[in-house]
Amino acid sequence: MMISISKLRQDIYRILDQVLETGVPVEIERHGNVLRIEPLASTSKIARLRPRDYLKTDPDEIVHLDWSGDWKP
């Protein structure tokens, strides 16, 4: 969909919401140049997680630790 910069200025939030909902890009003409607003391919939060190495021991060893000497009510 091609729109003018004036139309974008009037309805920018509605146009941006429409692009996000439909995925259809919007083209804007400005001084003879064409700009495009389109959503980037989104990835899930889980897909963006980086592997971490915090647990350097067997989990069973942690379960059976005696914290009674260090714990204070």
Name the residue with tokens 């009674």. 68
Give me the chain's average pLDDT, please: 87
pTM: 0.54
Q: Provide long-range contacts, Cβ within 8 A and 24+ apart, for 35-44.
A: none
Q: What angle do CA 22, 9, 20 make, to 5 degrees?
A: 15
Tokens linked to 35 = 């700009």
Q: Is residue 13 part of a domain?
A: yes
Q: Is residue 8 part of a domain?
A: yes
User: Which tens digits make up the pLDDT trace of 10-44?
Assistant: 999 999 999 999 889 999 999 999 999 999 877 78
CA trace torsion 46, 62, 55, 47 (10° rounding): -10
> How many CA atoms, within 13 angstroms, populate the side-chain half-sphere of residue 70?
3
Query: By residue range, what is the domain housing residue 4?
Result: 1-28
Q: How many domains does the chain have?
A: 1
